[in-house]
Homo-oligomer: A and B are copies of this chain.
Amino acid sequence: MPETARQIADDLRARIESGELMPGDRLPGEPSLVKTYGVAKMTANQALKILVTEGLAVAKPGSGTYVREFRPIRRVANDRLSKSRWSSGHSIWAADVDRRPMATDVQVYEAEASHQIARLLDLEHGSPVVVRSRKYAVEDRPVQLATSYLPADLVRGTAIAEPNPGPGGIYARLAELGAEPVNFAEELRARMPSEDERSALNLAAGTPVLEICRTAFTEDERPVEVNQMLLDAGSYVLEYRLSS
C-alpha cells in the first residue's frame, strides 16, 4: 500500500477545503496519524510536510501543525494618481486595507551600477548609483524587501541620499529636481524564495515570493529610478488598473 503519505495529505486537505478544519485549527498530530492510518511515524511526518510545502499548513514544533491563515495586504499599483473611479470595492480577496507596511532598516549608500541596473537606467556599466535598501513590516512581521537604485549624478547631495527623504518621499524630491517620475513599468514574477530570502522575510515553508522590478520614467522618457521588490506572497494581493 504505497502512496500512503500522499493519501493522508489528501484526506487532510479535503477536510481543510471542506471547511471542517478552519484556518488556525490544529491538525491531527503525528502520533494520531500513526494510530489512525497504521503507518510509521516518518510517513505521518511527511504527510504533514506535504501540506506545509503546499502552503496550506504551518508547523509549530513543540506545539502542533495548524491550518494556515491568509490575510493579505492590498497593494494598489496605481495608488498615487488614479482617482479610483471604476470598481473600487469590487475585490475578490478580502484584505485588510488599514494594515499598512512601515519601512524599517533603511540603508543608503553609493555603489557602482551592475550591468542590469545600468541597462535599466540607461547608464554606463559601473556608473555610480545611490542605493536605498529597506525592509517593510506590518505589526513587526516583515513582508517586503525593497532596493532602489538612482543615478548618483542626479541625486547625490540631496535628501534622496539620506535615510529619511522627507515628506512625499523620494518622488517628491525627484520632482523638485525637475525629474518627476510620471510613467512606470513593472515586471513581475513569482518563485520560491532562496534560503536567505526566506529567513529575511521570516517565511513559512511553502510560501512563494513575488519579485517586482519597477522602473520610473520622467515625462521625457528618462529612467530615473529602478526599484526591486521582494514580497511575501502570503501577505499580499496586488491590484492593477488599466485603461484603453
Instruction: Determine, out of A81-89, A98-106, A152-160, A162-170, the stretch whose residues face the partner at the interface.
Output: A81-89
A55 nearest in chain B by CB position: B192
Given contacts A80-B244, A192-B53, contact A187 B72 (CB under 8 A): no
Choose from B90, B191, B195 the contact partner of A215 (Cβ within 8 Å). B90
The docked-state distance in angstroms from the alpha carbon of A75 to that of B119 is 21
Q: A191 and B87: CB pair below 8 A?
A: no
Q: Mark A91-126, 1 if CB is under 8 A from B, else 0.
A: 111000000000000000000000010011000000
Q: A240 and B77: CB pair below 8 A?
A: yes
Interface size on A, residues (CB 8 A): 56
Given contacts A116-B92, A208-B233, contact A185 B238 (CB under 8 A): no
CB distance from A84 to the nearest CB of B (A): 10
Choose from B119, B192, B209 the contact partner of A90 (Cβ within 8 Å). B119
CB distance from A19 to the nearest CB of B (A): 15
Given contacts A92-B213, A182-B244, A213-B92, contact A85 B221 (CB under 8 A): yes
Q: How many copies does the complex hold?
A: 2
CB distance from A179 to the nearest CB of B (A): 13
The docked-state distance in angstroms from the alpha carbon of A240 to that of B243 is 12
Residues of B within 8 A of A120 (CB): 90, 92
The docked-state distance in angstroms from the alpha carbon of A187 to that of B209 is 16
A188 contacts B by Cβ under 8 Å: yes
A138 contacts B by Cβ under 8 Å: no
> In chain A between 164 and 194, which residues have their CB closer than 8 angstroms to a CB of chain B?
181-192, 194
CB distance from A155 to the nearest CB of B (A): 20
A143 contacts B by Cβ under 8 Å: no
The docked-state distance in angstroms from the alpha carbon of A206 to that of B191 is 8
Q: A243 and B183: CB pair below 8 A?
A: yes
Residues of B within 8 A of A184 (CB): 241-243
A237 contacts B by Cβ under 8 Å: yes
